[in-house]
Amino acid sequence: MQGIATDSFCPNIGVSPDPKTSPTSVTVLVDDIHFNDAPLNTDTNIWDTGIDKIWFTNNTGIITPDTILGKCAKFIPPFTLSVIDTLKIDTLSCVTINARDCHGNTCSYLWCYPYIIDSLPPILVAHYVGRDSIAVEVSDARIYDRGLQHIHTLSEINLSVFDTTAKDAGLYLKQFGLQRPKVGESSIGAVHAVDVWGAQTLLQHPAFVGFAEWVQDVEMKKGVRLKQ
């Protein structure tokens, strides 16, 4: 006979792998098994009543099973939680796992998935096409890139203006030409591009390329990626 004649321990909720590794899905183990002699764990607490119910609250962006009824089983088969959209523009996706035993003891576990941020600015390449135009290619299409948001020229001298904003995410590549109206004169200008992540978060990481084409020196200044 054990000392406490009632179930006073809420169910255990375990998650693997370790959430600190930012897994995109986890396996959840829930049981209502406790021991009186931890860490040896040979003397089971006989008063545990088993799992009554597992349910999910405060869910943002996680796929969960429906409410699970345990029918007072000591443990239930493992189930999976997974992130709906790992590329979503957000900082966290979370769900609270609640487990209640048949005596009414409830415990909860909060699992959050930190999205992997888009830390890379767009790639901007410009090259000279003939004497009167410059071909520009902007891309933001690596694994965690969310695509381009806003591309525009600035400080244009003898250079056409370009300005475009993507309505939605998903513009991964934009190619366009810039004109030099007066072929016999020098041109100076710059192209600025920011990706969707950079435009919607406080993390600004635009790409910027400045160039000058001098008539007496037809070299264009080499483009550089700046400011991450």
Binding residues for Ca ion, rule: CB under 5 A, are 7, 9, 32, 48, 101, 118, 120, 140, 145, 195
For residue 149, give the amino acid letter.
Q
Determine whether 146 is exposed, middle or buried from the number of CB atoms within 10 Å of its CB (0-12, 13-18, 19+).
buried
Calpha distance 24→85 (Å, rounded): 9
Calpha distance 210→68 (Å, rounded): 59
- Pick the closer one to Ca ion by CB: 183 or 203: 203
Determine whether 149 is exposed, middle or buried from the number of CB atoms within 10 Å of its CB (0-12, 13-18, 19+).
buried
List residues bridging with 208 in a β-sheet.
192
* Strands 123-129, 133-139: pairing kind: antiparallel
- Pick the closer one to Ca ion by CB: 9 or 111: 9
- Pick the closer one to Ca ion by CB: 95 or 120: 120
Q: How far is the CB of 22 from Ca ion (least distance, A)?
A: 19
Length of the chain: 228
Q: How far is the CB of 195 from Ca ion (least distance, A)?
A: 4
Nearest to 99 by CA among 2, 15, 3: 15
Three-class secondary structure of residue 13 per DSSP: strand
- Pick the closer one to Ca ion by CB: 4 or 110: 4
Determine whether 46 is exposed, middle or buried from the number of CB atoms within 10 Å of its CB (0-12, 13-18, 19+).
exposed
Q: Which residues contact 27 (CB under 8 A, 6 or more apart)?
A: 15, 16, 78, 79, 80
- Pick the closer one to Ca ion by CB: 2 or 25: 2
Q: How far is the CB of 77 from Ca ion (least distance, A)?
A: 18
Q: How far is the CB of 127 from Ca ion (least distance, A)?
A: 22
Q: How far is the CB of 128 from Ca ion (least distance, A)?
A: 26
- Pick the closer one to Ca ion by CB: 81 or 123: 123
Q: How far is the CB of 172 from Ca ion (least distance, A)?
A: 10
CB 59 within 8 A of CB 79: no
